[in-house]
Amino acid sequence: MLQVSRGDFVIQPIHARPAVPYVLSIDPNHKGGDGHSFGVIQCWALLADGRFLLFDQWRGRTHRSLFAAHIRRMKSEYRPVVILIEDNGPALDLQEQIETSRCPVILVKPNGDKLTRLRRNLDLFRNRQVVLRAGLPFMDELFGEFEGFPYGVNDDQVDTATQFFDWVDRTTFRLLRLRQ
């Protein structure tokens, strides 16, 4: 059975924000409101040792305009080198609202089903390359979603993380390091 457990994450106390490139990975919810999927914004740090730190996350069900405001807040706070948005219904509208010359927005078309996308990235977890800041308020929900995947009620956080991992796999780090 495919399962990523708590023990597959490195949990590390991090008190100061590392001076490394950040990437926002976003899975917009289609409609907002109760009963619909969650929108997720994850802020990933590309650590110098090649590991990936989930530094912050927002997750909720909200209207597109409020979701865009959460993206703008995280963009302002973390100054990402790029923003990845799953290419679904609201993605193009979000891209137009938040893209600037200093921070491109890439619409990402998922390659394969959600289970296949996680399988492609299992070695990152097995090799202890995925780091979480100790004490993050969303850790239990994140662990529950990964441990229950693909049979759990929600999979938005897993989907947003694998979108980031797939993008990193296709991207040259040298390009990101130039922008530090």
Could you tell me if 89 and 30 are in contact, meaning their C-beta atoms sit under 8 angstroms apart? Answer: yes
Q: Looking at residues 30-44, what average pLDDT do you find? A: 77
Domains of the chain: 19-172 (3.30.420.240)
pLDDT computed for residue 31 by the predictor: 56
Q: Which of 125, 159, 166 is nearest to 145 (CA)?
A: 159
- On average, the pLDDT of the chain sits at 88
74-130 pLDDT, tens digit each: 999 999 999 999 998 777 777 887 877 789 999 999 889 999 999 999 999 999 999
pLDDT computed for residue 34 by the predictor: 56
Is pLDDT at 175 greater than 70 in this prediction?
Answer: no
Is pLDDT at 178 greater than 50 in this prediction?
Answer: no
Number of helices followed by number of strands (H, E) in the chain: 7, 7
Task: Confirm whether pTM is higher than 0.85.
Answer: yes
